[in-house]
Amino acid sequence: MKPVAPIEAGRDKATDDRLSITAIVLAFNEEIHIRRCLERILPLVQRVVVVDSFSTDKTVEIAQGLGAEVVQHAFKHQADQFQWALDTLDIQTDWVLKLDSDEYLEPGAFDWLNARLSDLPDEVTGLELKLKVIFQGRFIRHGRYYQTVLLRLWRRGVGAMEQRWMDEHIILSHGRTERILGGDLVDHNLNDMTFWIDKHNRYATRAMIDFINRERPFFSEDTRIQNTASSARKKRFLKNTLYGRAPLYVRAFLFYLYRYIFRLGFLDGREGLVFHFMHGCWVFMLIDAKIDEARRCIRAHGIEAFKQHLVDRHRIQL
């Protein structure tokens, strides 16, 4: 761990007035988002730690100036980075919150937490939030996407990060979850479409790795989610069975039609047309193309050559 000493700015409010939550924020070159994220969370929780992947912009400077703790750690993938934080940080608060730099909680969510958090029964060990995506300035309400629910807050020592290259979730060792009402988790990325495409191209490569690993295991698959009752388990089951067994390419196109036509994605306007096509068709088509390419590479050259290709082309060490 490489600690970066925080500047204690804006911390004159009594810590006891804040919720007993440690917020962990993953960041890399997030100067466009980090101020918005931290200014909303710092006054409300007892501790905020930014886990930075050696940013080359002003991310660290901004985070320090606002009074957040900053530590730095080399990045492998999101799941590894966050589990490293859980294992390394000396967390003393009652609860832990996971945030990305381009995310924030709506005020209504904090109103609910202020009113309910201290009175929750012991068997409630995790709290879920509804995900609200804002794309090109528009709230994506339709196309099934606003039904996404994520476990992002859990009691200290109860949650662990599922280890996957993509689509990772928090796994609770015991207890049950409740839904935070009155406010959502907002995903509002301010970057342009070139950034969005580059990011999802990387995501598609990671999703391909998880898919190929189910066909030709070259690392142990984390199966802990199968022992939970979470919505993520149900979604993963459908993804691995119904969708995962459908023909490549055809499934991406059908999924897009399902989202855009049958789940009324067309009601999200021009921005929705772009989002549902790019996220619901293009990304999944790209994943299938990468799966196809990986299968050809493995058939022609073997699994070790494929793993070396990931290192040489994508700097991914399995």
| Interaxial angle between packed helices 193-215 and 303-314, expressed in degrees from 0 to 180 and rounded to the nearest 10 | 160
Q: What is the pLDDT of residue 15?
A: 52
Q: What is the pLDDT of residue 11?
A: 44
Average pLDDT over residues 6-11: 40
CA dihedral 17, 19, 20, 23 (to 10 degrees): -130
Average pLDDT over residues 165-182: 94
Q: What is the pLDDT of residue 225?
A: 84
**221-271 confidence digits (pLDDT tens):** 888 888 777 778 888 888 888 898 999 999 999 999 999 999 999 999 999
For residue 102, the number of C-alpha atoms closer than 13 Å in the C-beta half-sphere is: 15
CA dihedral 173, 176, 179, 180 (to 10 degrees): -60
The overall average pLDDT reported for the chain is: 92
Using the predicted structure, report yes or no on whether residue 3 has a pLDDT greater than 80.
no
Domains and CATH numbers, the chain: 1-101 (3.90.550.10), 193-314 (no CATH)
User: Which of 36, 32, 38 shows the shortest CA–CA distance to 7?
Assistant: 38
Using the predicted structure, report yes or no on whether residue 4 has a pLDDT greater than 70.
no
pLDDT band at 219 (very low <50, low <70, confident <90, very high): confident
Using the predicted structure, report yes or no on whether residue 14 has a pLDDT greater than 70.
no
| Interaxial angle between packed helices 34-41 and 59-66, expressed in degrees from 0 to 180 and rounded to the nearest 10 | 20
* Assigned token pair, 43: 């006054």
Average pLDDT over residues 102-129: 96
Q: What is the pLDDT of residue 242?
A: 86
Residue with tokens 């930075």: 52
Q: What is the pLDDT of residue 5?
A: 47
Using the predicted structure, report yes or no on whether residue 2 has a pLDDT greater than 70.
no
Q: How much is the pTM?
A: 0.90
More confident call, 11 vs 65: 65
